[in-house]
Structure 1
Amino acid sequence: MIHAATAPERIVVLAPLGRDSQVAIALLGEAGYQGVAAHDLDALCDYLQAGAGMAVIAEEAFNGADMTPLVAFLEQQPAWSDLPIVLITHHGGPDHPPSMRLGKQLGNVTFLERPFHPAALVSLVSTAIRGRRRQYEARDRLHDLSESRQRLQSALDAGREGEERLRQLNETLEQQVQERTAQVLQNEEALRQSQKMEAVGQLTGGIAHDFNNMLTGIIGSLELMRRRLSRGKTQDLDNLIDLGITSANRAAGLTHRLLAFSRRQSLDSQPVEMNRLVLAMDELLQRSLDESIRLDMHLDPALWVAEADPHQLESALLNLVINARDAMPNGGDLVVETSNHTLDETFTQQQGTLAVGDYVRLSVRDNGCGMPQSVINRAFDPFFTTKPIGQGTGLGLSMIYGFSKQSRGHVAIESQIGKGTTVNLYLPRFKGDTPAISPQAVEEAHRARSGETVLVVEDDSAVRLLVCEVLRELGYAYIEAAEASGALPVLNSPQRIDLLVSDVGLPGGMNGRQLAEIGRQLRPGLKVLFVTGYAEHAAVRGGFLDTGMQMITKPFTFDRLTAKVREMIEN
């Protein structure tokens, strides 16, 4: 059992927003620690001067405040003292510049990123207090050493034996202090690693569970088809084929959501008229709702043009509407709203890397059951869900979070138990000239014209074989290579090449984008179609593709591939 902390071990909490200080003190009190709230930095310094074991400080407490007294106090600490501080930061953690600057100024800092679990705060405080107690032990030992030195000094006149004993005692004490300090650092690192492994374990467990289900559908369908074909039965294979394709598409969707959460998906950012997109989805949204739920749309007629990937935005809106539906099992009102917002520095500083400027906001509001703060804090975690097993993957909100951050935007949740939930998605305003919107023609996979040749560069043999086989069926001549080194001699030859189809990630030290650059030096105007399953540097297409280049993501349908090949060759 942990007893209440003595006065030198009391915890000073400085969190100026809302009831953060009271909540933190209550949590620490339940763990057996004595906490006191400071209303500003000056009060914090007064408490520290009077004696304290550590401090818990929210990052926003330093906004516009004079840190000189606090820095002076930390610099004037005795040699044995290194006051531990838990610094509560926003998204971005210790790696974003404001937190890095504060960490250097404050010294012995442990970062705790919002949103966090109460157990994480208590764990960090417990570790810091244990370290502080070791500092007190070092102080006591230093005091004992000082007294020993005084006693030994009086005996120095009696001979060199006293001097040697003093030297040995001093070396032993310094070694003990070093060992204790090393142990504290080791314990802190072990805690951080434990927290990281817990998060990784939750993520990998969720992925394994969902992928195993999907692979069972794919493998099972293929096994049954092989059995029937071996017996010469070709009837009723369509259902098995559809089942396998459905499972494969679910696996592809899961991969896309994981890339969205990790901010590594390939985004096709472009001007988006959000009102037009929302209205186009009206019928789909209505079909996704129960008859007991009434859908209203409040669309700003003077809405700015947003900059985003329209397909990802459609997916985000559908996810939000489905979540709102599930929060109203007995029916209710659901409102989809669009509006213009200019975010000032006061708002953006609380969100870490969010830039000041104009944003288009998409809000989805329900009057359902609402969420407690503990659920809001974890709502964006991958595979976290409050739905029953089998009714949710826990990736919907995490995908929206990753999409918003990769789009240079922001997403926030407001909720009250019994009153409902509002999710606000902010996307940056488009700054350029809005192109005229023209209806898109239906893509058809036309057959090749005489002599048209495609160079296929793909390191995965199965994907390369399938792509080449589809091109052959449509009458294209093709040349295949497994890596860039095999494609360069072809590009440097007189061989006709109408289109280069290349994976972005290739082995051998040269990626697909570098291959395309060399190919265009050898063949000016060479058309390039990139295919990618994951490419960190191709996450934003606008900064990756030049004129005459396009990209499709794996997995893709062969109808889409051949239509894109035909389109690029003809254009």
Structure 2
Amino acid sequence: MAVILNCATFLSEDIDRADPKRKDVDEILKAGERASALTSQLLSFSRREIVKAEILDLNHVISGIKSLLQRTARESIEVELDLFPVLNPTKIDRGQLEQIIMNLSVNALDAMPEGGRVVVKTANVAVDEAAVRRYPGLRSGEYVTLAVSDTGRGMSSEARARAFEPFFTTKPRGAGTGLGLSTVYGIAQQAGGHVIIDNGADAGTTFTVYLPATSVRVEQTPLPVDASGDERRSRETILVVEDEDGVRSVVDRILSREGYEVVTAASGPEALETFVRHSGPIHLLLTDVVMPGMSGKELADRVKKANPETPVIYMSGYPEQITTQEGVEAGQTYIQKPFTARELLSKVRDVNLSATGSF
């Protein structure tokens, strides 16, 4: 799936919007994104996804996936962002927060087959006892809220009552999994928050996610950019270890286009030989977890014996119990397959490569 998503993205960047083939490429991208989202939903629903909570600015995360939101929407639908200018931070896994945003946005888009408007709004909210009585399950305190509204027909009382049930859907057969909203609810609850559904006065529906606010300030990093390589050029060297040829090639291309020097290996033993023979410093090890012969964790351990300061990012499409069996512990830097170029580059940028030395 990572190969499909990213190769389609490469094509999309190279094909002019007026080209009739562009529509086909966009459809491939949308199908790939839906399949990727389903994978994440299944992993979250089964509690098998590796979670790494961090202090985040919700506005910053929304802005980082703004282009994806707009690309997902049909031409007949307007996407509007109404972001509160000074938003309190919250503590949650970045991937899960992005999943909440996308799941609610896609749900809103599906509610308007004939077109309309989606509004994504953020706010700081103090929940008092009156609100707690009105919305059972919500607790008093300071929250950051994400509200996604549509101008569709609204939801019946029965649909609202069952909206968060796993596999419940009002969509035609084959058009929905019934996991999108239950996943949103599960993530919010896991983060100590809640989700509320309100119908509009005339039409439409608003889903509001309440996430506990924190007083810890966010150390802001630059928003992710497309992998064009024009806005950021770096000569840091990354060793990519992946046994699947297609994924290895795609990762190489993503990083190279961004300006990194990339050396690749198809196995742990080949990677060890590569870093021994490499003439310059290698600043990051990006390795698959499950590989024949030598696991990514074993490879990382041997690399760190040579240079303890070398950062490692693990890649895997397997659920958490498999990666745990392979020795990857919670809290280690990890990216779930399938991933997009934006997600990979964001993860790499989070690592301080300049502080590392050579092997």
Shorter-chain TM-score category?
0.5 to 0.7
The residue aligned with 1:12 is none
Q: 1:239 to 1:524 in 2, by over 3 A?
A: same
Gaps of 5+ in 1: 1-210, 212-216, 222-235
The residue aligned with 1:258 is 42
1:206-257 CA-to-partner distances (Å, cap 9, x unmatched) read xxxxx9xxxxx99xx9xxxxxxxxxxxxxx9877766655544432232123
Conserved 8 A contact 1:273-1:304 = yes
TM-aligned CA deviation for residue 466 of structure 1: 6.2
The residue aligned with 1:37 is none
TM-aligned CA deviation for residue 386 of structure 1: 0.8
Determine the C-alpha separation between the residues in 1 that align with 2:210 and 2:150.
Answer: 18
Determine the C-alpha separation between the residues in 1 that align with 2:303 and 2:104.
Answer: 44
Matches within 5 A, 1:204-283: 244=28, 247-266=31-50, 269-274=53-58
TM-aligned CA deviation for residue 397 of structure 1: 1.0
Does structure 1 residue 553 correspond to structure 2 residue 311? Answer: no
Conserved 8 A contact 1:370-1:415 = yes
Which of 259, 266, 271 is the equivalent residue of 1:480? 266
The residue aligned with 1:527 is 311
Amino acid at match of 1:394: G
The residue aligned with 1:544 is 331
The residue aligned with 1:432 is 216
Conserved 8 A contact 1:307-1:429 = yes
Determine the C-alpha separation between the residues in 2 that align with 1:263 and 1:241.
Answer: 33
Determine the C-alpha separation between the residues in 2 that align with 1:333 and 1:240.
Answer: 25
TM-aligned CA deviation for residue 536 of structure 1: 1.9
Does structure 1 residue 316 correspond to structure 2 residue 100? Answer: yes
Matches within 5 A, 1:7-406: 244=28, 247-266=31-50, 269-274=53-58, 288=73, 303-309=87-93, 312-321=96-105, 323-324=107-108, 336=121, 338-341=123-126, 358-364=142-148, 368-373=153-158, 375-389=159-173, 391-406=175-190
Amino acid at match of 2:145: R
Amino acid at match of 2:331: F
**SS of structure 1 residue aligned to 2:100:** helix
The residue aligned with 2:285 is 500
Q: 1:426 to 1:262 in 2, by over 3 A?
A: farther
Determine the C-alpha separation between the residues in 2 that align with 1:289 and 1:241.
Answer: 15
Conserved 8 A contact 1:472-1:478 = no
Amino acid at match of 1:400: V
Q: What RMSD, in angstroms, separates the aligned Cα atoms of the two structures?
A: 5.7
1:426-457 CA-to-partner distances (Å, cap 9, x unmatched) read 212234232245455665559997xx976544
Q: 1:340 to 1:504 in 2, by over 3 A?
A: farther
Q: 1:253 to 1:294 in 2, by over 3 A?
A: closer
Determine the C-alpha separation between the residues in 1 that align with 2:163 and 2:292.
Answer: 38
1:515-566 CA-to-partner distances (Å, cap 9, x unmatched) read 4244313322223232222452789x99523xxxx54432345798689879
Amino acid at match of 1:458: E
**SS of structure 1 residue aligned to 2:164:** coil
Conserved 8 A contact 2:166-2:179 = yes
Amino acid at match of 2:88: W
Conserved 8 A contact 1:363-1:425 = yes
Gaps of 5+ in 2: 9-19
Q: 1:343 to 1:255 in 2, by over 3 A?
A: farther
How many residues were matched structurally?
A: 323
Determine the C-alpha separation between the residues in 2 that align with 1:563 and 1:259.
Answer: 21
Q: 1:383 to 1:489 in 2, by over 3 A?
A: same
Structure number with the bigger relative contact order (C-alpha 8 A, sep ≥ 6) is: 2
Determine the C-alpha separation between the residues in 1 that align with 2:347 and 2:67.
Answer: 29
Q: 1:244 to 1:276 in 2, by over 3 A?
A: closer
TM-score, normalised relative to structure 1:
0.42
- What is the aligned-residue identity percentage? 33
Q: 1:439 to 1:455 in 2, by over 3 A?
A: closer
Determine the C-alpha separation between the residues in 2 that align with 1:414 and 1:391.
Answer: 24
Determine the C-alpha separation between the residues in 2 that align with 1:516 and 1:457.
Answer: 11
TM-aligned CA deviation for residue 339 of structure 1: 3.5
1:28-73 CA-to-partner distances (Å, cap 9, x unmatched) read xxxxxxxxxxxxxxxxxxxxxxxxxxxxxxxxxxxxxxxxxxxxxx
Amino acid at match of 2:296: G
**SS of structure 2 residue aligned to 1:433:** coil
**SS of structure 2 residue aligned to 1:397:** helix
Deviates more, 1:489-498 or 1:420-429: 489-498
In terms of fraction of residues, the more helix-rich structure is 1
Conserved 8 A contact 2:265-2:274 = no
Determine the C-alpha separation between the residues in 1 that align with 2:27 and 2:170.
Answer: 28
Amino acid at match of 2:57: E
Determine the C-alpha separation between the residues in 2 that align with 1:258 and 1:376.
Answer: 22
